[in-house]
Amino acid sequence: MDLKIRINDITLRVSTSAGETLQDVLRKNGYFGAKHGCEDGQCGACAILMDGRPVNSCLVLAAQAEGHHIRTIEGIGSHPEKGWKKTEGLSAVQRAFVETGAIQCGYCTPAQVLAATALLEKNVKPDEEQVRDALSGVLCRCTGYLKPVQAVLRAAKYLRGEEVEPVQPASEIQAEADVTVVLDEPSPGGYPETLTQVGVLPKIWTTAQTKTFSTVGKPEKKVDAIKLVQGKPAFAGDIELRGMLFAKVLHSPVAHARIKSIDASAARALPGVAAVLTWQDIPRVVYSTAGQSDPIPGPLDTFSLDNKVRFVGDRVAFVAADTLEIAEQAVKLIQVEYEVLPSILNSSLAMADGAIVLHDEPEYVKFDGSNPAKNLAAEIRIDIGDVEKGFAEADLIIEGDYVVPKVQQAHIEPHITVSYWDEDDRLVLRTSTQVPFHARRVLAPVLGLPVKRIRVIKPRVGGGFGGKQEILIEDVAAHLTIATGHPVYYEYTREEEFTASRSRHPMKIHMKTGVKKDGTITANEMYALSDTGAYGCHALTVTGNTGHKSMALYVGDGKYRQEPNIRFYADVVYTNTPPAGAYRGYGVPQGYWPVERHMEKIARTLGMDSIAFRLKNAIRSGELHPFSKSWSEGREPRPEIIHTVGLEDCVRQGKAVIGWDAKYGNPTWRQVEGHPHLRRGIGIATVMQGTAIPYLDMGGASIKMNDDGSFNLLIGATDLGTGSDTVLAQMAAEVLGVPVEDMIVYSSDTDFTPFDKGAYASSTTYISGTAAVQAAQKVAERIRARAADMLNSKKTGLVKAQDIKLAESMAIAPDGRRISLKDIAYNALHHENQEQIMAVASYVSPVSPPPFAAQFAEVLVDIQTGAVRVERLVMAVDSGVIINPVTAAGQIEGGMTQALGYAVTEEMTYTASGESQQKDLIDYHLFRADEMPELETLFIETFEPSHPFGAKAVAEIPLDGVAPAVGNAILDACDAELKEIPATPERVWKSIQAK
């Protein structure tokens, strides 16, 4: 049918089918700002304005839109600098989003901007509740919504013509004295409604060194913010190629079976089908989908297509066709005969005698501890000290069992890959990945291509959270491009994300701890039964980190502090469920639920203050990381001293901000006037993470100087919304003495940028950042040398290169003479002894300095129904020096929000036949803007000596403490001992009944 649709005041004539959605029509016509995130309108990433109202274009037929005025993000604002042509610049809403750091991955940003625009066109003075309601239709997995809400309130001020203050630190406190700072203390009746409006920046307890920096430590705007806020076609799927085919995968309907036969003839005969591939059509190459450095620290147990399926959702066949609809139709025409095998859905049964073996393929390659005959993907046995002796010396042994669920990363941008042959017949993969270099290396043998004939381009990534530390779908598109010669577009549906992607490993954990009466831990033991699902990607390393990080925090006191007794054993088993994999926190949140619930239990059993008990036994600066001599992600362990531990300050400051002393254990505070069935509670968890993998994680950076004194910073590091491009640019800019806008950042492309292991293990600021700093130092050295030559040629006094300071885009001599970097660049490129000033550097760290944090939670428990409302989360974090407080706070806020879902609602479960029970964002609810608790971030800086600017990791630690803090708060509220998360109403109710 032919339609006329008015889009951004231009009438578009389109020929479309009756069922085509407005989103499809928009994207086919280049309006890429309407993103795909789901198929049922729950995520709202596809939102546009229809007659001024935000609606989800995936649920509007193109035909429905006829007669209405459609506005897309492409019709809002423009880049403020477009040459001789004056532009209107960004809209007030866009400007505010950029300034407040409301943009992380930017995938949902166009929809949020449109929703905010619609609100402010009707109501220029909205309150916070109205803003949150207006944003409720757009799910964001990155920000925790705090900064988007602040952005809308700020934009409203712009539109009202009010003075808007620049984003500046709300409060910086020099860490000189032992001072506890209380700011914005809540009023007795609760928290100010305007807490969100108090300030964009977190409270920072700064180090002395921070004061000397000009760019590091400042709330610089994200370098990719302006394109993202305009909805530019920056993501993997925002591309059209001539002759592009669309891929679909036939997924297994059974949990475990051999494929007896496949008849794809009907599918192949369907007009418009270009290729159907089964296991018989492609080489059988065993590999691991885990995106990790070589050698992969885990079993090789996966094939692109196999003659056996191991979970409902496993791959059976690939199809490429002219349209998605034809591909979907073709998938249904493939006839498969399965020999159904018994399946294992319960991890406790995986290693039972006589259990069916999932991986009986002869090509299986074991890694340390894997034993496929016992369905064991990995086995971990770590003994530090003499645990049995420690137990024997204890006055009390306390044990407990805990359970953590399988959960989904749920990045709003699904997995997506576009593959094509370039003009040199090299295979190009434009893909949403955290690990472009690992993807290239791992895929080469799978595709029968040498590494040099593959190029992986990582555009902007719409969130990853570990889900894209997996070479999950790139091979599908690539095989189909090889088969057809055509470009192939393959994008997961939201259902596929739940049924055929990766997730957090669910675990059943037993804790056993020996303590003295005075609270000294004499021995601490954890056993984890970890369920890796059908394949062992990340099996060893995720589960290893469960113990490596959470069990390292409490070493004991006195003599035990010097020689702690710690045991961590784990079995990582195969089951016929979708595979687990990497998910932000990488096994550590699974560890902290049992450890922190257990510590609370022990403290209460001993009658001790639970915080005092924790700090008495917690690791301190100058002490050895207890696991550093025993385990290092499957590699050789080496001893490591922890130099910076800000945990006590985190506890002290966090306690002050949340008002701990007035609330904890206070029966009066627990009561809610007029609501006898409600109880307030407050809880804490203390946590530590890691920063990169020592002696393994490597990142490279290249910096090149341009004519105008600006620089190209090329990095293999993978900014998946975290702001790492910006943070790396800040550090390089600090060294080069230029503003951040003079750093032109590009990441990442295996052809053009240096190697980087990718975005995982909280390593980018630390590892890739150090590489960027070192490259900048080399460039700075060349600049100083040339500046000295230029100054000395004027014979007005000699200056040594090393005495020249780079600042304000100038080379400044001690006597005050200065030359602009532009003049130096011209001199180098055009005038004398011509050279390209540039440098490359790479970095690998010998240490992994842990960040520390104190996580606090306040809850309201309905003691009759078990319903829990988390009302406030405060996190005080020692991440070393904070390079950019806005992006770092965004990491904490967004991380706490993901962790909140882990604590109270998110859970992936399966039917008795292994089918996923959650296939959409209705049954798997993600927190929305209109239901968030108060979020507050405090940064307690330490200066980590192993990083040039004193930084440690920030991205993963917010995932660790929320669940146990909530669990401990529930305990404080009503004495309910919850063993398992999420804390659903029924689980809490049962715990209350069991008291």
Measured over the CA atoms of residue 600, residue 602, residue 604 and residue 607, the dihedral's sign is: negative
Residue 60 beta carbon to other proteins: minimum distance, rounded to whole angstroms: 6
Asked if 985 is part of the footprint of other proteins (rule: CB under 8 A), the reply reads yes
Interface with other proteins (CB under 8 A), residue from 55, 92, 98, 529: 55
Specify the stretch interacting with other proteins by CB under 8 A; choose among 34-42, 276-284, 395-403, 776-784.
Answer: 34-42
CB-based contacts of 909: which residues, under 8 Å, 6+ apart? 405, 406, 916, 917, 918
Distance of CA 174 to the CA centre of its chain: 30
Nearer to other proteins, 326 or 772 (CB): 326
d(CA 879, CA 940): 7
Report the distance separating Cα 952 and Cα 513, nearest Å.
30
Nearer to other proteins, 490 or 527 (CB): 490
The helix, strand and coil proportions of the chain, stated in percent and rounded to the nearest 5, come to: 30, 25, 45
Q: Which is nearer to other proteins, 21 or 409 (CB)?
A: 21
Residue 975 as a binder of other proteins (CB under 8 A): the answer is no
Q: Which of residues 677-736 bind other proteins (CB under 8 A)?
A: 677
Alpha helices in 701-853 (DSSP H): 724-736, 769-792, 821-826
Task: List CB contacts of 926: < 8 A, sequence separation 6 or more.
Answer: 139, 141, 410, 901, 906
CB of 594 to other proteins, least distance (A): 22
Query: Should residue 64 be labelled a site residue for other proteins when binding is judged by CB under 8 A?
Result: yes
Amino acid at 782: R
| Binding residues for other proteins, total number by CB under 8 A | 55
7 - beta bridge partners? 10, 70
Report if residue 135 touches other proteins, rule: CB under 8 A.
Answer: yes
For residue 881, the tally of other CB atoms under 10 A from its CB is 26
Does 128 sit near other proteins (CB under 8 A)?
no
Least Å distance, CB 865 to other proteins, is: 5
59 near other proteins (CB under 8 A): yes
Rounded Cα distance between 603 and 610, Å, is 5
Q: Using CB atoms within 10 A of its CB, is residue 386 exposed (0-12), middle (13-18) or buried (19+)?
A: middle
Element (H, E) at 134: helix 128-135
Q: Is 134 in the site for other proteins (CB under 8 A)?
A: yes
Q: What is the DSSP letter of 74?
A: G
Cα–Cα dist 979/707, whole Å: 62
Query: Minimum distance between the CB of residue 909 and other proteins, rounded to whole angstroms?
Result: 6
> How is 338-363 classified by DSSP, letter by letter?
EEE------GGGTTSTTPPPS---TT
Q: Can residue 190 be called a binding residue for other proteins (CB under 8 A)?
A: no
Q: What are the φ/ψ torsions at residue 981 (nearest 5 degrees)?
A: -110, 165
The least distance separating other proteins from the CB of residue 132, rounded to whole angstroms, comes to 9
The distance of closest approach from Cβ of residue 54 to other proteins in the complex, given in angstroms and rounded to an integer, is 5
If one asks whether residue 44 binds other proteins (CB under 8 A), the answer comes out as yes
Indicate whether 922 belongs to the interface with other proteins (CB under 8 A).
Answer: yes
Question: CA distances (Å), 728 to each of 420, 690, 702, in order?
Answer: 31, 19, 12
Selected range binding other proteins among 52-60, 158-166, 609-617, 662-670, rule: CB under 8 A = 52-60
Nearer to other proteins, 38 or 787 (CB): 38
Q: C-beta of 669: minimal distance to other proteins in Å?
A: 22
Q: How many CB atoms lie within 10 A of CB 160?
A: 12
Q: Dihedral sign for Cα 977, 658, 661, 518, please.
A: positive
Cβ atoms of 908 and 916 closer than 8 Å: yes
Asked if residues 498 and 542 have their Cβ atoms less than 8 Å apart, the reply is: no
Closer to other proteins by CB, 214 or 905: give it. 905
Question: In terms of Cα–Cα distance, which of 243, 259, 270 is closest to 331?
Answer: 270
952 and 877 in contact (C-beta within 8 Å)? no
**CB 199, CB 205: distance < 8 Å:** no
179 lies in the site for other proteins, by CB under 8 A? no
Contacting residue, 164, 623, 905, 915, with other proteins by CB under 8 A: 905
The position carrying tokens 């503003």 is 739
Q: Answer left, alpha or beta for residue 947, where phi above 0 means left and psi between -120 and 50 means alpha.
A: beta
Among 6, 40, 400, 451, the residue binding other proteins under the rule CB under 8 A is 40
Whichever of 270 and 624 has its CB closer to other proteins, that residue is 270
Q: Which of the residues 404 through 423 are near other proteins (CB under 8 A)?
A: none
Nearer to other proteins, 61 or 888 (CB): 61
Q: Does 930 bind other proteins (CB under 8 A)?
A: yes
Q: Which residues pair with 337 in a beta bridge?
A: 261
Helix (H) or strand (E) holding 121: helix 109-122
Per-residue binding string, other proteins, 291-330, x by CB under 8 A, is ----------------------------------x-----
Amino acid symbol at 908: M
Query: DSSP secondary-structure letter at 711?
Result: E
Q: Does 39 bind other proteins (CB under 8 A)?
A: yes
Tell me the closest approach of the beta carbon of residue 869 to other proteins, in angstroms.
7
Does position 675 interact with other proteins (CB under 8 A)? The reply is no
Given the rule CB under 8 A, which of 358-366, 630-638, 754-762, 914-922 is the region that contacts other proteins? Answer: 914-922
**Measured between alpha carbons, how far is 115 from 113 in angstroms, rounded to an integer?**
5
Q: Please, which residue, 237 or 390, has the CB nearer to other proteins?
A: 237
Using the minimum distance from each CB to other proteins, give the nearer residue, 46 or 439.
Answer: 46
**What are 417's two structure tokens?**
């890959």
Site for other proteins in 837-866 (CB under 8 A): 862, 864-866
Q: Residue 921 — φ and ψ, nearest 5°?
A: -90, 15
Q: In this complex, which beta carbon is closest to other proteins, that of residue 87 or of residue 123?
A: 123
Q: Tell which one of 14, 92, 115, 156 touches other proteins (CB under 8 A).
A: 115
Residues 32 and 732: their CA atoms lie apart, in Å, by 32
DSSP per-residue string spanning 439-476: HHHHHHHHHT--GGGEEEE--B-S--TTTTSB--SHHH
* Closer Cβ to other proteins, 441 or 928, answer by number: 928
181 scored as a contact of other proteins (CB under 8 A) = no
- Under the binding rule (CB under 8 A), the answer on residue 807 touching other proteins is no
Please, which residue, 212 or 993, has the CB nearer to other proteins?
A: 993
Nearest-approach distance from CB 973 to other proteins, in angstroms: 17
Q: Closest CB to other proteins among 33 and 758?
A: 33
The nearest distance, CB 933 to other proteins, in angstroms, is 10
Of 134 and 647, the one with the shorter C-beta distance to other proteins is 134
Residue 931 interacts with other proteins (CB under 8 A): yes or no: yes
Structure tokens at 676: 């006898």
Task: Give the residue with the Cβ less far from other proteins, 49 or 442.
Answer: 49
Nearer to other proteins, 24 or 557 (CB): 24
Q: How far apart are CA 822 and CA 708, in angstroms?
A: 5
Cβ closest to other proteins, residue 204 vs residue 333 = 333
Piece of the chain touching other proteins by CB under 8 A; list 129-137, 157-165, 239-247, 261-269: 129-137
Radius of gyration for the alpha carbons in the chain, expressed in angstroms and rounded? 28
Residue with Cβ nearer other proteins (224 or 862): 862
Among 33, 37, 54, 372, binds other proteins (CB under 8 A): 54
Residues 6 or more apart from 791 whose CB is under 8 A from it?
797, 799, 813, 817, 819
- Site residues (vs other proteins, CB under 8 A): 1, 18-19, 21, 39-42, 44, 47, 50, 53-56, 58-61, 63-64, 66, 115, 133-138, 325, 677, 862, 864-867, 869, 904-905, 909, 917-918, 922-923, 925, 927-928, 930-931, 982, 984-986, 989-990
